[in-house]
Structure 1
Amino acid sequence: MASAPGVGIVADAVLQRHRLQSAAGKFGVEVSFSGDPERLLGYPGFPEACLWLVTLRDESDHSQLFDHLLENTEAPVLFGVDQAPAPGGIDYSRWERRLLGKLEQQLGQLEQLDSASDIEELADMDRSVEAPLELSSWITPAAADSPAREVWVLGASLGGPAAVKTFLDNLPAGLPVGFVYAQHIDSHFTQVLTRILGRHAHYQLKAAEEGTVICNGDVVLMPVEQEWSFTSDGKLTRTGRPWPGPYGPSIDQVLLNVAEHYQDHCHAVIFSGMGNDGAIAAPMINSHGSRIWVQESSSCGNSSMPESVAATGCAGFSGTPEQLAGELVRTIENHCLLRNRQQRDSA
């Protein structure tokens, strides 16, 4: 939110106040007041707020609060905000998502996105890498036009383009893997992103097209405007409906759609971004064998999204974009070593 004052929070449970304040911060909303009803009633003057969130265990115990609010503020007041469940589970992520919906109904879009100028600046990023990764002799270079057996979803929002570019620039050519890139972005900037990101990388961005089969070396950018899924034979197809949730593409839905076709050969890296997109689907697909990795917080432009996914307990690795690239190469190498050993033992 661009201007003060922030939202006011009134709750008679300390944990509820803490969770409301934490969730508001995750969505980029400042909090101008947080306290129980007694603190607000005894507050000198009256705190400014653009919106009030009120949640009480028993509203009949605080009849004076309602009159006090209505007499002293013209800002909207949302009574009866749901009690937050314990953090770390899918229910908590869904509670956050419902809260976001209520906030945006009153305040408009909250998530900050990379601008065209932010993306254009990536063209000036130096591609030189201190210790360039090389393709291990154990990994047979994959033909670029061969269908990918392993697909990794790259999910990102604010700060994501720079992180994903660094990740891709650190990968050696020839890895037997394809990528699906789900980036929250203004739809007007997708062509800029496609042109700039990966210009110097071995892995070039391409827009999703009807009937595309993801091949090794592909980085397929999911469109913002509508949901895409896969046919039974693995071809990308439009669904004709908008992405569910507040922003497109929905990283949660991309994860579910890719995993539906690729099963445990679908994995994910969640990069920088606001909010908690991905935190609902990531633990679901992880329970079926998918790897979930996240960008390490201090290297993020905004760490809310990867931290939300990590809080679910499903993240098996956390690192900078460079470290994530290195871990991917090591993981593929170990898989190739194991497969070669199994083939040798069965011969």
Structure 2
Amino acid sequence: MPDQPVIGLIHIGESQPSAQFLINQLTHSGYQVKQYHQDECDQLDVEINAFILNLYDNDVNIDDLIHRLSDQNVKIIFNDARISNELVGWNKNRWLRHVLHKIDQAHDILPQQVAQNSSSSGVDLTELGIESVWILAASIGGPESLIRFFKTLSGDEPILFLVVQHMDSEFSHMMEKQLNKNGVIPVKLAESGMQVAPSQAILIPVDEAIIIHEDGNLGVKDVNPDRMSTPCIDDVCFDMLENLSQVNMAIFSGMAKDGVKGATNVFENGGKVITQSADSCVVSAIAEEVRRLNMSLFDGDPESMAQYITESTSK
């Protein structure tokens, strides 16, 4: 097995939280990381061909360090830690992909590999206390329905929820804030390095798709550029069926065809599919098509959907 490529990380000033995050993500992407401080330039490994300079103290003179690295003919990547410390959500994901792309232009996605599990059964999250995974798909009228759904839960269910709500990218954090009004299930916008947990809802971002590793660590990757909706329900279903050992799906209020193929894939792979009833939806186009195809195992309002999922998980 070939040695892992090594990246040098040089701290200019105190070590910062974003640097530790970057180290963790580089490790997940297959790199080893050697850390140095700016006063250790005479100890740099001459075999390393790429160094990240994590700049926090801009008053430090690093001319000698730059000259030394230039003499070694290595790739020098500058990172402003004052900015990266403040990044969250989509911007943090984009920054990470940008750094990886500077290291190697072959990095089109993060992570480049599929899930760390090579078995056909997919990643099993039961050791993390997650007994089932439910994709919650919604469009028009979805936020109100999802809040009602989450409010019915107790907050200690062994379930991971993945929320796929059609929206534009500028509304991602607003949507996260709105869904957290449920007060029971915490809703978090997906970020690289996030740890999944039971009784948690991950909001799928508009401009990234997600991947879940065996240890529960979350990664992001680029989306299909030809997707019909943002985010795309069908694509999330396909990705999660490739990634996880078992996926279920609950379809809430929405007007679109996006989600029908996803529901079909979930159903045909042995997952449960349930729908929000027409009389409790603002628009029931997605759910209606799934019902027409006889794939819905249960149909009801958001509160009864939550009860169905809780009861089916405890059996």
Whole-Å Cα distance in 1 between the matches of residues 136 and 231 of structure 2? Answer: 12
**Alignment partner of 1:283 out of 236, 243, 264:** 264
Whole-Å Cα distance in 2 between the matches of residues 182 and 243 of structure 1? Answer: 17
Whole-Å Cα distance in 1 between the matches of residues 235 and 223 of structure 2? Answer: 12
Match of 2:32 in 1: none
Match of 2:178 in 1: 196
**Alignment partner of 2:303 out of 317, 322, 334:** 322
Match of 2:229 in 1: 247
SS in structure 2 of the partner of residue 202 of structure 1: coil
User: What is the CA deviation profile of residues 284-328 of structure 1, one whole-angstrom value per residue up to 9, with x for unaligned ones?
Assistant: 221221000011111111111111222222111111001101111
Match of 2:294 in 1: 313
Per residue, is there more strand in 1 or in 2? 2
Whole-Å Cα distance in 2 between the matches of residues 322 and 164 of structure 1? Answer: 9
Task: Indicate conservation of the 8 Å contact 1:173/1:203, yes or no.
Answer: yes
Alignment partner of 1:174 is 2:152:
no
Whole-Å Cα distance in 1 between the matches of residues 287 and 244 of structure 2? Answer: 23
Task: Indicate conservation of the 8 Å contact 2:143/2:178, yes or no.
Answer: no
Task: Indicate conservation of the 8 Å contact 2:131/2:313, yes or no.
Answer: no
Task: Indicate conservation of the 8 Å contact 1:147/1:214, yes or no.
Answer: no
Task: Indicate conservation of the 8 Å contact 2:150/2:182, yes or no.
Answer: no
Whole-Å Cα distance in 1 between the matches of residues 262 and 292 of structure 2? Answer: 13
Alignment partner of 1:223 is 2:205:
yes
Whole-Å Cα distance in 1 between the matches of residues 229 and 182 of structure 2? Answer: 29
The Cα shift of 1:230 comes to 3.3
Match of 1:209 in 2: 191
The Cα shift of 1:244 comes to 4.2
1:18-97 to 2 correspondences below 5 Å: none
Whole-Å Cα distance in 1 between the matches of residues 145 and 262 of structure 2? Answer: 22
The alignment of Structure 1 onto Structure 2 pairs a total of residues equal to 189
Whole-Å Cα distance in 1 between the matches of residues 241 and 193 of structure 2? Answer: 18
Task: Indicate conservation of the 8 Å contact 2:189/2:203, yes or no.
Answer: yes
SS in structure 1 of the partner of residue 149 of structure 2: helix
Structure 1 moving runs of 4+ over 3 Å = 230-235, 241-244
Task: Indicate conservation of the 8 Å contact 1:243/1:250, yes or no.
Answer: no
Instruction: Give the partner amino acid of 1:262.
Output: L
SS in structure 2 of the partner of residue 199 of structure 1: helix
User: What is the CA deviation profile of residues 60-117 of structure 1, one whole-angstrom value per residue up to 9, with x for unaligned ones?
Assistant: xxxxxxxxxxxxxxxxxxxxxxxxxxxxxxxxxxxxxxxxxxxxxxxxxxxxxxxxxx
Whole-Å Cα distance in 2 between the matches of residues 180 and 284 of structure 1? Answer: 16
**CA gap 1:267/1:275 in 2 versus in 1, 3 angstroms:** same
The Cα shift of 1:175 comes to 0.7
Equivalent pairs: percent with the same residue? Answer: 28
Alignment partner of 1:161 is 2:151:
no
**Alignment partner of 2:242 out of 260, 263, 277:** 260
Whole-Å Cα distance in 2 between the matches of residues 279 and 326 of structure 1? Answer: 23
Instruction: Give the partner amino acid of 1:239.
Output: K
User: What is the CA deviation profile of residues 192-235 of structure 1, one whole-angstrom value per residue up to 9, with x for unaligned ones?
Assistant: 12112133422011010113342101100000123223346553
**CA gap 1:322/1:150 in 2 versus in 1, 3 angstroms:** same
Whole-Å Cα distance in 2 between the matches of residues 173 and 293 of structure 1? Answer: 21
Match of 1:79 in 2: none
Whole-Å Cα distance in 2 between the matches of residues 169 and 232 of structure 1? Answer: 29
User: What is the TM-score normalised by the length of structure 2?
Assistant: 0.56
Match of 2:132 in 1: 150
